[in-house]
Chains A and B, each alone.
Chain A
Amino acid sequence: QKEVEQDPGPLSVPEGAIVSLNCTYSNSAFQYFMWYRQYSRKGPELLMYTYSSGNKEDGRFTAQVDKSSKYISLFIRDSQPSDSATYLCAMTSQSGGYQKVTFGTGTKLQVIP
C-alpha cells in the first residue's frame, strides 16, 4: 500500500463548478500537508499549506485536513479554464533529522469553458 493515495483522474468539469480533489494517507506521522498545481512542463506551484485538522481558505481554494480519518481535500470554487492542470498533494514527516516529503501521484483536472 502506498503511503499517499490520490485518484489520478482525469477529472473533467464545466466552468463554474466546484471541484473536490482528495488524498488519503496511511502514515500518522505526517505533519505538514500541501497542495501543488502543476501545468504541463512546468515546476509545481505551492497553492495551500496546512498543518492542523480543519479548513484553510485562500480565495477560491479551500484546503481541508482530517487527521483522524487520514484524509485531505482541496476544494476549488467557481472553477476556471485556467485551473486546468495537475494537482499534487504532498505531506511531510520527520525522517532521520530532516523532513521527508511524500507526494501523491497527482490528479489531472480539466475545466471546460
Chain B
Amino acid sequence: GAVVSQHPSWVICKSGTSVKIECRSLDFQATTMFWYRQFPKQSLMLMATSNEGSKATYEQGVEKDKFLINHASLTLSTLTVTSAHPEDSSFYICSARDQGGNEKLFFGSGTQLSVL
C-alpha cells in the first residue's frame, strides 16, 4: 500500500515552545491530508483537513491559531503546535488520501507529543 511518513515520532518539549510535525506522502500525491488527535484508549479525533494551496478547514472546537497547518506541496503537510502547554500532550496522527487509488486513506505512524 501507499506510504505516509510522519516525523518526528516522539517529541518532548518545554511549555511555551512550538513544535512542528511533518507528514509526507512518499509514493503518491495528496491534495488533501488530515490531522487527528488521539487520547489514550480513545478513537481518532479529526482536528483539521489540510488542502494543498489553500487554508485548512478546522473542526469545531479546534483553535486554528494554536494548531497551524501548512500544505505547501502535493506531498507535504505540516502541523505546528504553537506555545505548547501540558494539555496539548497527545498522540497526533496525519493521513493522506490516495486520489489515484479509489480514495483510500493511509496514515502516518503518529507523533507522541509530551509537553513538560
Listed in ascending order, the chain A residues whose CB lies under 8 Å from chain B are 32, 34, 36, 41-46, 49, 51, 88, 90, 92, 98-99, 101, 103-106
Chain B residues near A46 (CB, 8 Å)? Answer: 1, 104-107
- Contact residues on B (Cβ < 8 Å of other chain), bracket: 20 to 34
**Closest residue of A by beta carbon distance from B31:** A98
* A72 to B85 Cα, complex, angstroms: 40
Chain B residues near A98 (CB, 8 Å)? Answer: 32, 49
Q: How far is the CB of B67 from chain A (nearest CB, A)?
A: 18
Interface on chain B toward A: helix, strand, loop, or mixed SS? strand
* A12 to B39 Cα, complex, angstroms: 23
Determine which residue in B34, B43, B97, B102 has the highest number of CB atoms from chain A within 10 A of its CB, and name it: B43
Q: Is the CB of A101 within 8 A of B34?
A: yes
Q: A41-B91, A99-B103 are in contact. List 20 more A-B contacts (CB 8 A).
A: A34-B104, A42-B109, A43-B4, A43-B93, A43-B109, A44-B44, A44-B107, A46-B104, A46-B105, A46-B106, A49-B104, A88-B43, A88-B44, A92-B105, A98-B32, A101-B34, A101-B105, A104-B43, A105-B42, A105-B43
